[in-house]
């Protein structure tokens, strides 16, 4: 029987205050920076969905190809009667394939910061899976939130974290985040997540500077959001998107680069930009399989299964609690 649940909404004031304080603090740093989670307002979430379809952006189509080939093995690894908890669910496109193959899932909990994206995804999933219990949570998954309980018995809770979002965190930050997942899924739980792998600098930089310019619009939307929500006065056409591979750190870095000397104000405070100075908006770390296994082990997880494409551009990994930890 289909069951509809109201999304649990975060406080209407807390996220706004957090955004304002994060921007003010970040623009005051020697290397100006803003946490990448603020790229994902409603417009940013829509633009990211466009990025995933861009010809130059390999991660999404590669991950989908891996899932198409190995989804039955993934469902077997997860096991029957699982509660699937997805962090940053977006449009839930990849999730549809997984849900179709899961064995008697107890329920699905999509966690998404964008109310519009969450509502649209849940409506579509109800149409496709009328018998699946869906319990949406509108929240920032970097903060604490309560995991709702389905009406059916749960064999284990499995966190689904597709895409390459784990790469937006430093390796130490990724280990800390993975460590926090224990509280959401318990000792019998698991994590099914995407991990982007190391590859040529040319492929990486082309992916984050796509020829269609969608990533540029996605990055520049952050300036528009600060103007709209915080009353800042960024001249958005005086900044340019830049994505470069930092080989020393093993990551792609996204920046918003000032095209000239200029001053931006926020709440009466002036922030000076020199020509060529940037706001660092996102990192995307790329791993070797052994390198990510070390990160997982540091967080109390062990890698049970790894699925990759033939070129080893991308991986989907299934983690379980490391009982020897």
Q: Are residues 93 and 220 in the same domain?
A: no
Q: Are residues 239 and 303 in the same domain?
A: no
Q: Is residue 1 part of a domain?
A: no
Instruction: Label residue 11 by pLDDT band (50, 70, 90).
Output: very low
Residue 1, pLDDT > 50, answer: no
Q: Are residues 220 and 281 in the same domain?
A: yes
- Higher pLDDT: 42 or 55? It is 55
Q: Are residues 166 and 245 in the same domain?
A: no
Residue 15, pLDDT > 60, answer: no
Separation CA 200–CA 195 (nearest Å) = 16
Yes or no: say if 306 and 315 are a contact pair by the CB < 8 Å rule. Answer: yes
Q: Are residues 220 and 158 in the same domain?
A: no
Question: What SS3 state is found at 41?
Answer: coil
Q: Are residues 112 and 154 in the same domain?
A: yes
CATH code of the domain covering residue 142? 3.40.50.150
Instruction: Label residue 325 by pLDDT band (50, 70, 90).
Output: low
> 178 is written with which tokens?
């993975």
Domain range for 310 is 60-199+288-321
Q: Is residue 64 part of a domain?
A: yes
Dihedral sign for Cα atoms in the order 107, 162, 139, 9: negative
Q: Are residues 107 and 220 in the same domain?
A: no
Q: Is residue 21 part of a domain?
A: no
Residue 6, pLDDT > 60, answer: no
Mean pLDDT computed over 282-287: 98
Q: Are residues 175 and 97 in the same domain?
A: yes
Residue bearing tokens 């930050």: 173
The answer for residues whose C-beta is within 8 angstroms of residue 58's C-beta and 6 or more apart is: 203, 207, 313, 314
pTM over 0.95: no
Mean pLDDT computed over 99-127: 92
Q: Are residues 184 and 304 in the same domain?
A: yes
Q: Are residues 210 and 157 in the same domain?
A: no
Residue 183, pLDDT > 80, answer: yes
Q: Are residues 281 and 246 in the same domain?
A: yes
Neighbours of 13 (CB within 10 A): 8
Q: Where are the alpha helices (DSSP H) in the chain?
A: 14-27, 42-51, 58-78, 93-101, 115-128, 171-185, 201-208, 214-230, 289-298
Domain count, the chain: 2
Q: Is residue 2 part of a domain?
A: no
Mean pLDDT of the chain: 92
Q: Are residues 92 and 192 in the same domain?
A: yes
């Amino acid at each position: 029987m289909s069951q509809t649940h109201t999304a649990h909404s975060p406080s209407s004031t807390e996220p706004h205050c957090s955004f304002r304080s994060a921007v003010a603090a970040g623009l005051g740093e020697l290397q100006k920076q803003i946490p990448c989670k603020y790229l994902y307002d409603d417009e940013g979430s829509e633009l990211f969905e466009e990025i995933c379809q861009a010809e130059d952006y390999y991660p999404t189509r590669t991950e989908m190809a891996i899932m198409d080939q190995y989804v039955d093995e993934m469902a077997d690894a997860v096991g029957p009667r699982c509660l699937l908890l997805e962090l940053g669910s977006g449009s839930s496109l990849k999730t549809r394939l997984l849900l179709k193959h899961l064995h008697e899932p107890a329920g699905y909990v999509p966690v998404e910061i964008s109310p519009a994206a969450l509502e649209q995804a849940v409506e579509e999933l109800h149409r496709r899976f009328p018998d699946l219990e869906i319990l949406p949570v509108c929240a920032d998954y970097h903060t604490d939130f309560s995991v709702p309980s389905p009406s059916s018995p749960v064999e284990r809770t499995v966190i689904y974290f597709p895409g390459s979002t784990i790469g937006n965190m430093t390796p130490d930050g990724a280990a800390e985040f993975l460590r926090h997942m224990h509280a959401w899924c318990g000792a019998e739980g698991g994590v099914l997540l995407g991990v982007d792998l190391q590859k040529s600098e040319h492929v990486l930089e082309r992916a984050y500077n796509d020829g269609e310019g969608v990533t540029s619009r996605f990055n520049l939307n952050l300036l528009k959001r600060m103007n709209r929500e915080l009353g800042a006065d960024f001249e958005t056409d005086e900044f340019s998107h830049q994505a470069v591979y930092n080989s020393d750190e093993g990551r792609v870095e996204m920046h918003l680069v000032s095209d000239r000397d200029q001053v931006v104000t926020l709440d009466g405070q002036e922030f000076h930009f020199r020509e060529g100075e940037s706001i660092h908006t996102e990192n995307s770390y790329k791993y070797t399989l052994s390198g990510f296994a070390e990160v997982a082990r540091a967080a109390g997880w062990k890698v049970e299964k790894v699925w990759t494409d033939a070129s080893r551009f991308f991986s989907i990994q299934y983690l379980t609690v490391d009982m020897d930890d």
